A and B are shown apart, each in its own frame.
Chain A
Amino acid sequence: MRRVLAITALWALSCASTSLEKGATVVRLSPGQVDPAFEPRRFALVVGIPASTDERWRALKYATKDVDDVARVLKEPFTGRFTVVTTLTAKKDTTKQALLAAVQQLATQATRPDDIVVIYVSAHGTLARDGRGELARYLVTSDADFSRVAQTALSIEQLQQVFARVPSKRRALVLATCHSGGGKSLLSDEMQKELASLKGVRPLEEVSRASIVLSASDFGEPAREDDALKNDVYTHFLVEALQGPGDRNGDGAVTATEAHDFARRKTYAHSKGRQRPSAELVEVGADPVILAGRIQREGRPEVFSYAPRLDGFALKVNGEERAELPGGVAVTPGKHVIELTKGPDLFLKEEVTLEVGQRLDLEELVTRREPAVSLSALFGGFGFFDEKSRNEVIPGGATLGAALRIDRLFGGRFALEVDVGGLGGQTTLDLGSAPVPVSWTSVQGGVSLGWTFRWRFLSVYVGPRVAGLWVQRSFSVATYSGRQAAFTLMPGAWVGGAVALGKRWEVSAHLQPTLSVLTVDGTLRAMGFVSGWAAVGFKF
Chain B
Amino acid sequence: MRALLATVVVFGLLGCGGFDNDPLRRGTVRGTLEKVTPESAVVIEELPEFFVKPDEKGRFELVDVPQGEVTLLVLASEVNAERLPVEVKGGQVTEVGSVGNRPGALVVVRLTAPEKYGVANARVSVRGLRLERSLRTGVTEVTVPAIGCFTFDLSAPGLGADSKQLCVEGSARYPVEFTVAVPDGSEGREGCSVSGCVEGFMCKADGTCG
* Residues of chain A at the chain B interface (Cβ within 8 Å): 392-393, 429, 431-434, 436, 473, 475, 477-480, 482, 484-491, 515-522, 524, 526
> Chain B interface mostly helix, strand, loop or mixed?
mixed
* A-B Cβ contacts below 8 A, count: 110
Question: Which residues of A are found within 8 Å of B4, using beta-carbon distances?
Answer: 526
Q: Does B38 contact A (CB under 8 A)?
A: no
Is B93 a contact of A478 with CB atoms below 8 Å? yes
Question: Which residues of A are found within 8 Å of B92, using beta-carbon distances?
Answer: 433-434, 477-479
Q: Known: A434-B91, A436-B91. Is A479-B18 also a contact (CB below 8 A)? A: no
Question: Which residues of A are found within 8 Å of B21, using beta-carbon distances?
Answer: 392, 429, 431, 520-521
Q: Which of B11, B23, B27, B91 contacts A517 (CB 8 A)?
A: B11
Q: Which of B8, B17, B19, B93 contacts A521 (CB 8 A)?
A: B19
10 contacts between A and B (CB under 8 A): A433-B68, A433-B90, A433-B92, A473-B19, A478-B28, A479-B93, A486-B15, A518-B15, A519-B17, A524-B12
Chain B residue nearest in CB terms to A473:
B19
Chain B residues bordering chain A, tally (CB within 8 A): 31
In the assembled complex, the Cα of A487 lies from the Cα of B22 at a distance in Å of 20
CB of A8 to closest CB in B, whole Å? 59
Chain A residue nearest in CB terms to B24:
A436
Q: Does B67 contact A (CB under 8 A)?
A: yes
Chain A residue nearest in CB terms to B64:
A479
In the assembled complex, the Cα of A327 lies from the Cα of B28 at a distance in Å of 80
Q: Known: A477-B91, A479-B26, A526-B8. Is A432-B20 also a contact (CB below 8 A)? A: no
Question: Which residues of B are found within 8 Å of A522, using beta-carbon distances?
Answer: 18, 20
In order of increasing CB-CB distance, the 6 nearest A-B pairs are A519-B18, A486-B17, A477-B91, A488-B15, A433-B67, A433-B90
Is A487 a contact of B23 with CB atoms below 8 Å? no
Q: Does B14 contact A (CB under 8 A)?
A: yes
Is B17 a contact of A485 with CB atoms below 8 Å? yes
New A-B contacts (5) at CB < 8 Å, excluding given A432-B67, A488-B11: A477-B24, A478-B28, A484-B20, A518-B15, A524-B8
Instruction: Render B7-47 as a binary contact track against A, CB cut-off 8 A, 1 for contact.
Output: 11101101111111111111110000000000000000000
In the assembled complex, the Cα of A438 lies from the Cα of B17 at a distance in Å of 17
Q: Does B161 contact A (CB under 8 A)?
A: no
Interface centre among A432, A480, A491, A521 (most CB of B within 10 A): A480
In the assembled complex, the Cα of A482 lies from the Cα of B91 at a distance in Å of 12
Q: Does B167 contact A (CB under 8 A)?
A: no
Is B11 a contact of A479 with CB atoms below 8 Å? no
Q: Does B172 contact A (CB under 8 A)?
A: no
Is A482 a contact of B16 with CB atoms below 8 Å? no
Question: Which residues of A are found within 8 Å of B28, using beta-carbon distances?
Answer: 478-479
Q: Does B63 contact A (CB under 8 A)?
A: yes
Interface centre among A489, A516, A517, A520 (most CB of B within 10 A): A517
Question: Which residues of A are found within 8 Å of B11, using beta-carbon distances?
Answer: 488-491, 515-517
In the assembled complex, the Cα of A393 lies from the Cα of B64 at a distance in Å of 21
Is A518 a contact of B19 with CB atoms below 8 Å? yes
In the assembled complex, the Cα of A473 lies from the Cα of B26 at a distance in Å of 18
In the assembled complex, the Cα of A325 lies from the Cα of B21 at a distance in Å of 64
Is B90 a contact of A486 with CB atoms below 8 Å? no
CB of B132 to closest CB in A, whole Å? 32
In the assembled complex, the Cα of A526 lies from the Cα of B3 at a distance in Å of 13
Chain B residue nearest in CB terms to A393:
B19
Q: Does B89 contact A (CB under 8 A)?
A: yes
Is A489 a contact of B15 with CB atoms below 8 Å? yes
Which residues of chain B (92-139) have a CB below 8 Å from chain A?
92-93
CB of A433 to closest CB in B, whole Å? 4
In the assembled complex, the Cα of A436 lies from the Cα of B20 at a distance in Å of 13
Question: Which residues of A are found within 8 Å of B22, using beta-carbon distances?
Answer: 521
